[in-house]
């Protein structure tokens, strides 16, 4: 999650118990790089090991949300990176995958996809998928889907365990902590909820956007009775019309979330 630079970062931290239905779908092991410079070699040679044992850390590569006991909703780009061998954990219990269903109009890794992906938005079309688990998740309440079309102007909450940073520097750290941030929907269309990362004093009190690894995570709207899923994190546009690239996760970038209300028929047809 990428946050405001002028707010205490601890205020963005979330407890897993706040969002038990939001889950890491794809993860990887990344080697921790330890760099030594020439000064270290000259002044502290005894502290530099001749042969290092690599150390690794977990990295979140994609998120999802439980929407029914057997079903997880995520981004298609996340679903294409996992397999039926992947395990997904809820409350430290691993669940195996029975089926992965991509939206039929999601653009795959063909030439058409690569050409389309490099155009106006650095995001894929119809970026939504469903994952069916072999066994139902019984101890976690699924999140409902937002079924209204009045998203524009609403403040929504992003949740994820992706890379962390702030708007002046972009993604900077990997610590696996669950964070939440808010942002206001600037515009909507048939596919997207569109957000802008505003620099203070503009924006919301806990303004933020998703970072690398947060794809597939939710844009949640507060409804009577709790949270509902209004969007699925897809991608980010950091290029200005002039062609200048502001840099990933910097103030001024635009965030694109798949608009769930436009895919309710497909979701319900697959789940049922």
CATH value at residue 58: 2.40.10.10
pLDDT digits over 93-125, tens only?
Answer: 999 999 999 999 997 543 344 444 433 446 788
Nearest to 63 by CA among 87, 85, 79: 79
- Give the pLDDT mean for 196-221: 97
Dihedral through CA 224, CA 227, CA 232, CA 237, nearest 10? 80
Least-confidence region, from 137-151, 196-210, 227-241: 227-241
Total domains, the chain: 1
Q: How many residues does the chain have?
A: 272
Q: Which domain holds residue 92?
A: 2-271
* pTM for the full predicted model: 0.87
Rounded Cα distance between 14 and 35, Å, is 31
How far is 184 from 195, CA to CA, in rounded Å? 6
Do β-strands 2-3 and 164-166 pair in parallel, antiparallel, or remain unpaired? parallel
pLDDT of 183 higher than 80: yes
- The residues facing 221 across adjacent strands are 228
pLDDT in tens, 47-84: 555 556 666 678 999 999 999 999 999 999 999 999 99
Residue-wise pLDDT tens digits, 129-179 = 999 999 999 999 999 999 999 999 999 999 999 999 999 999 999 999 999
pLDDT at residue 30 greater than cutoff 80: no
Q: Is residue 214 scored above 50 in pLDDT?
A: yes
Distance CA 89, CA 91 (A): 6
């Amino acid at each position: 999650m990428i946050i405001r630079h002028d707010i205490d970062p601890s205020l963005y931290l979330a407890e897993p118990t706040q969002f038990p239905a939001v889950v890491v779908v794809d993860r990887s092991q990344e080697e921790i790089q330890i760099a030594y410079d020439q000064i270290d070699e000259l002044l502290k040679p005894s502290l530099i090991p001749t042969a290092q044992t690599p150390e690794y850390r977990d990295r979140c590569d994609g998120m999802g949300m439980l929407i029914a006991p057997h079903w997880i909703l995520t981004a298609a780009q996340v679903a294409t990176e996992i397999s039926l061998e992947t395990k997904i954990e809820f409350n430290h219990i691993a669940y195996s995958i029975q089926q992965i269903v991509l939206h039929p109009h999601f653009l795959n890794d063909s030439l058409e996809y690569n050409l389309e992906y490099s155009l106006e938005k650095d995001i894929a079309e119809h970026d939504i998928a469903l994952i069916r688990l072999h066994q139902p998740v019984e101890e976690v309440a699924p999140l409902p889907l937002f079924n209204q079309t009045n998203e524009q102007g609403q403040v929504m909450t992003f949740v994820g365990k992706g890379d962390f940073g702030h708007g002046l520097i972009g993604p900077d750290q990997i610590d696996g902590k669950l964070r939440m941030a808010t942002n206001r929907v600037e515009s909507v269309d048939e596919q997207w909820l569109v957000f802008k990362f505003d620099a203070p004093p503009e924006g919301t009190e806990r303004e933020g956007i998703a970072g690398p690894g947060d794809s597939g995570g939710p844009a949640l709207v507060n409804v009577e009775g709790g949270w509902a899923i209004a969007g699925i994190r897809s991608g980010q546009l950091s290029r200005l019309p002039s062609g200048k690239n502001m840099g990933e996760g910097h103030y001024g970038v635009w965030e694109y979330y798949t608009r769930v209300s436009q895919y309710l028929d497909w979701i319900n047809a697959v789940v049922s």
